[in-house]
Structure 1
Amino acid sequence: MDVATALHAAAAVLLLLAGAAKVARPSITADLFFSLRMPRLRFLSGEAQAVAIGVVEIGLGMAALAIGGAVTAGIVGVFYVGFTAVVVRALMVGATSCGCFGRAESPPTRIHVAGNVSLAAVSFIAIGGATPLEVMDDQVAGGLGFVILVGVLAGLFLVLFTALPEAMAARRPRFES
């Protein structure tokens, strides 16, 4: 099994999930963009821009999984480089949410930065590898093991990006004055 392809496919699944979250709850991402003073298209509100980004993420995630290939792997890698820059900027300004998964209580962390860098790297490595469908074709049971692995990896990254930072934030002692 191609490990880089599995990790890249997990990155594509996360794109789908993050895109769906932005479409369902665009205000979290719009608020983050506003707090980061990110440029906005004049003809779109902040929420409409977040929805548009979410739709693009969904489309890219689907293309990476269903079509695959060097071009989609490269674009996924570029997206994760961009996500890394946004999370670094969010850390610098003290944002309370990373804006990725439509959850206000998911703070940006250095772990999130490292995860985004890792997903960008494996997506760039996947440029030279097999597509997810090619990996599945080479396996027994129609690639069920690959699908399960990708699901587990995507779930672990989702926990890494959302639940772990929330748990770490809740664990920090708060001193009242």
Structure 2
Amino acid sequence: MWDLVAGPFLAAAGLLVVAGVPKIVDPLPLVRALRGAGLPVHRQVVRGFAVLEVALGVWALAAPGRYAALLVAAAYLVFTSFVGRVLRRGGILGSCGCFGKPDTPATRTHLVLTALAALTALLVAVDPPASVWAGVDGATVTTAGLAVVIGFLAWQVMAVLPTTSPAAIRTTAAPTRKG
């Protein structure tokens, strides 16, 4: 199973790190997003969870195994639940701050990607690799490269694509005067 899901799993673990760091630096976007979704939290709680998110991502990258994969799956199930809640409530205007962007709202694509990341991690938990980084060979390097590409594309879909919609472009364009 590892051979099939290694790239997506490593990408999901890497995204935990990439998405967690901005929340450590500035937890307020996520605090606002959680409050907007009806979940009041304090800034220090968000920062603490972001530290755990980064630590989990690093652990899953360095030593992907059953327990790391189960925790990655749990994290992505929480994210999926949150995005689903936001979408059911009509969405939020701002970002959760996961990608350091000021205005990347939750989308259905975001929901699908986080659910797929959870599923991938569950598959790894069911059949974890015996040893990933021992005896690094060409296939391992290719898998790591694939993980980087998958992670980058997932980031593009979640953080950049929502800003290219006609509504997003209209809200960021400067008003023009006729006269």
TM-score (norm: length of structure 2) = 0.83
Q: What CA deviation, in whole Å up to 9, does each residue of 1:26-58 have, x standing for no partner?
A: 110011111122153xxxxx2212211110100
What RMSD over aligned residues (CA atoms) do the two structures have, in Å? 2.5
Residues 1:18 and 2:32 aligned together: no
CA deviations over 1:42-84 (Å, ceiling 9, x no partner): xxxx221221111010010011111221111011011111101
How many residues in Structure 1 have an aligned counterpart in Structure 2? Answer: 169
Partner residue of 1:70? 66
The alpha carbon displacement at 1:130 in A equals: 4.2
Q: Give the whole-Å Cα distance in 2 for the aligned partners of 1:117 and 1:98.
A: 19
- Summarize the alignment of residues 119-138 of structure 1 with structure 2, pairs less than 5 Å apart: 119-131=117-129, 134-137=131-134
Percent of pairs identical after alignment?
Answer: 27
After superposition, the C-alpha distances for 1:102-127 in whole angstroms (9 at most, x for unaligned) are 32210110000000110000110011
Do residues 153 (structure 1) and 153 (structure 2) align?
no
CA distance in 2, matches of 1:115, 1:97: 19
Work out whether residues 6 and 147 of structure 2, in 8 Å CA contact, stay in contact via their aligned partners in 1.
Answer: no
1:113 aligned to which of 111, 114, 123: 111
Determine helix, strand or coil for the equivalent of 2:99: coil
**In 2, Cα distance between equivalents of 1:8 and 1:37:** 31
- Whole-Å Cα distance in 2 between the matches of residues 52 and 36 of structure 1? 20
Match of 2:174? none
Alignment of 1:165-176 (within 5 A): 165-168=162-165, 169-170=167-168
Q: Residues 93 and 105 of structure 2 are in contact (CA less than 8 Å); yes or no, is this contact kept in structure 1? A: yes
Per-residue CA deviation, residues 127-161 of structure 1 (Å, 9 max, x unaligned), is 13344x93444652583222211111110111111
Match for 1:148: what amino acid? G
CA distance in structure 2 between the aligned counterparts of 1:83 and 1:34, rounded to whole angstroms:
15
Partner amino acid, structure 2, of 1:105: D
Gaps of 5+ in 1: 41-45
Would you identify which runs of 4 or more consecutive aligned residues in structure 1 move more than 4 Å? none
Does 1:49 pair with 2:50? no
Inter-CA distance 139–66: structure 2 relative to 1 (3 Å threshold): closer
The answer to whether residue 149 in structure 2 is matched with residue 144 in structure 1 is no
